[in-house]
Amino acid sequence: MRRRDAGRMDRQDDYAQASRLSRIEPLLYLAPFLIGVAVFTLYPVIHVVFISFMEDYNYLTRAFSGFGLSNYISVLNNKYFIQALSNTFIYVLLVVPIATCVALVVANMLNQKLKLTGLFQTAYFLPMVTSVTAVGLAWRFMFNERIGIINFLLSLVGGEPVGWLTKAEWSMPALVIYGIWNILPFTIILLLAGLQGVNPMFYTAARVDGSKGLRIFFRITAPLLAPTIMLTTIVNTISAFKVFNELFPLFKGQAGPFYNLYTVVYFIYEQMSGKPRLGRAASAAMVLFAVIFALTMVQLLIQRRWRGSGKG
């Protein structure tokens, strides 16, 4: 029986060799990208995991005294890190829901068949292609206590000038407003695409069934849009947890006017200035990762529940 199979085996080997080549070929095309990802993403990510557990790691000599949890203990006992964590949570909890609601309203308006819709659509998507830093600097001018347009508009309705960027209590609102503005275009684009994917016959059906206006939105549009809303919420939550770029232009590179706006990523960044504390930075990054991961899982679970229950 063996002998009889031998010929077939040979042939199979030939096939295997040929298909192995054809399997390698696409990998060669992908190689430049894959190498880039491996060097600049994969390796650092894995390395960070290791570093976070290394005791007394010296990044120049690469020496360390063993594995342990001391970095995590140090980070979780650091009051600036705890402050950064709480600031980040507040930021996420404000920015993501508000931005989602505003984006829903705007996307709905853009989805109406009105004159100038095309113009508005372009205008709303413009921020996506402008530099975050340039836009941030523009916002710094707008937030300016004495000459900023925001305080000017406030004064028109009788408001007192607000020290957006100079007072501790107003710095978070300023950051949140800027953060919302920053993620709006992306959110609007996705929601608008989602809205345009809703077959208009459902609206007609709902109208004939006797409902109109907001009820159609809550009973028909929103449930049909739920997958898109979920997607933007998850993506926005993740990006909001990484709030850092937004701080720089507004507060001249500081974490708020009185260093009161520490965020997790800013904390990580600061560990690397002066005397680098690589271990602490790495473990802070891991904590952030754990938080984002856990929250994303919760969101996905909620989404599955939501669908399963059929409440829509």
How many other C-beta atoms lie within 10 A of the C-beta of residue 235?
16
226 binds another protein (CB under 8 A): yes
- CB-wise, 134 or 205, nearer to another protein? 205
- Closest contact distance (angstroms) between CB of 208 and another protein is 4
- Closest contact distance (angstroms) between CB of 199 and another protein is 7
Q: Which stretch binds another protein (CB under 8 A): 96-104, 220-228, 261-269, 297-305?
A: 220-228
310 binds another protein (CB under 8 A): yes
204 binds another protein (CB under 8 A): yes
223 binds another protein (CB under 8 A): yes
CA–CA dist 159, 133 (Å, integer): 29
312 binds another protein (CB under 8 A): yes
Number of residues interacting with another protein: please give it, by CB under 8 A: 21
- CB-wise, 17 or 204, nearer to another protein? 204
> Which of 93, 205, 300, 301 contacts another protein by CB under 8 A?
205
> Which of 20, 212, 252, 305 contacts another protein by CB under 8 A?
212
214 binds another protein (CB under 8 A): no
305 binds another protein (CB under 8 A): no
> Which of 48, 76, 224, 291 contacts another protein by CB under 8 A?
224
Residues engaged in binding another protein (CB under 8 A): 199, 201-202, 204-212, 215, 219-220, 223-224, 226, 307, 310, 312
